[in-house]
A and B are shown apart, each in its own frame.
Chain A
Amino acid sequence: MHSALALIVTLLAQASIYLMLYAPFVAGVQIILYAGGIMVLFLFVIMLVSIERSQRERQFNKQWVVGMVAATALGGLFIAVYTKGRGIFPEHALPAVEAQNTQNVGTLLYGQYMFAFEIASLLLLVAIIGAVVMAKKRI
Chain B
Amino acid sequence: MDNVQILTGNQAAAMGARICRVQVVAAYPITPQSSLMETLSQYIEAGLLKSEFIRVESEHSAMTVCISASSVGARVLTATSSHGLLYMHEQLHWAAGSRLPVVMCCVNRAVGAPWSIFNDQQDSISQRDTGWLQIYCRNNQEIIDTMIQAYRIAETVNLPVMICYDGFILSHTTMPVAVPTSEEVDEFLPPYKPHTILDPATPKNINPVIFPNRKINHEGVLCHAYMEFRYLLHQAALNARRVIADVSREYAQKFGRDHGGLLWTYKSEDAEILVTSMGSLTMELSTAVDILREQGVKAGLVGIRVFRPFPRAEVAEAFCRAKAIIVFEKDISYGFEGALSSDLKASLYETDIRIPIANYTAGLGGRDIKARELVAAITESLAEIKNGTNEPITKWLNCYTG
Q: Do A and B come from one complex?
A: no
Q: Which residues of B contact A (CB under 8 A)?
A: none
